[in-house]
Amino acid sequence: MATYALTDLLRALRTLHKEPPRLVFVHSSLFQLGLLQGATPAAIPELIYETLREHLGPQATIAVPTFNFGFCRGELFDRTSTPSRQMGALAEFVRTLPHARRSAHPMQSIAAVGPLAAALTAPDTAGAFERGGSFDTLIEYDAQILTLGCGLERVSLVHWAEERVGVPYRAWKSFCSPYRSAGVARMRTYKMYARDLSLGLQANITPLTAALTHNRQLHQHRLGAAHLTSVSSRDFVNTAIALLEANPWALVTHSGTDGSLSPGGL
């Protein structure tokens, strides 16, 4: 298996960012990078975070997706303690940092640490990608999207573009389940623009990656067995919208899957 050192990671980050951004939105799959030299698996998320913080400096804000779709199945969402699911070890590490803040949406939340964390996580909108919501705020600040070990297929801001265009393969679906915040539990209703699995589609981010690369807006650097990528959130969503307006099916392809409206995923 490929290996890399923290010095390699720091060098890659400095190659991607000539000027460290004040806000990054990080999607990661650390296992795909390979083995971090001299580190146990349990220690890797903290070491990656510390290296990222060294690169960005203390005044930068680091945000991560902390999605959990248990609320769709009637499970209690506790804004403080409900873990993220399938978002990667780094995202969960950031969520549990002492000064981390988490946004309110029980299915599609983000966690953030840094000066902009309060502004990012304060909105409480019925849909996570609505105007005025946390993802909208990320774009207002033009967060730099950073992927570690994964591609743009993991970048959740694609849903923001899908909602703005009103793609035909998604529809609004509401969920009412137990919700706890600041120690107070009650029933709450939130909604999501869920994908219709009966159409047999899966995400196809290749056209978006190609367009961003063609426009020289996507920056990439190899590390270990995979890559780091960086792109402006505004460039990402504006390019996605342009593709979807030209063809609302541009970012999906047939998968042969049958089902119903999916509460999560791309």
pLDDT for res 254: 83
Q: Three-state DSSP class for 84? A: coil
Q: In angstroms, rounded to a whole number, what is the distance separating the alpha carbons of residues 110 and 148?
A: 17
Buried b / exposed e over 76-101, threshold 16 CB at 10 Å, is ebebeebebeebbbbbbbbbeeeebb
pLDDT for res 228: 97
pLDDT for res 257: 44
Nearest to 30 by CA among 46, 18, 14, 17: 46
pTM: 0.93
pLDDT for res 262: 42
pLDDT for res 264: 41
pLDDT for res 197: 85
All structural domains of the chain with their residue ranges: 3-194+204-248
Report mean pLDDT in 10-residue bins for the chain, 266 residues: 93 94 97 93 96 97 98 97 96 98 98 98 97 97 97 94 97 97 95 92 94 97 95 98 97 64 42
**Phi, psi of 215, deg, nearest 5:** -85, 0
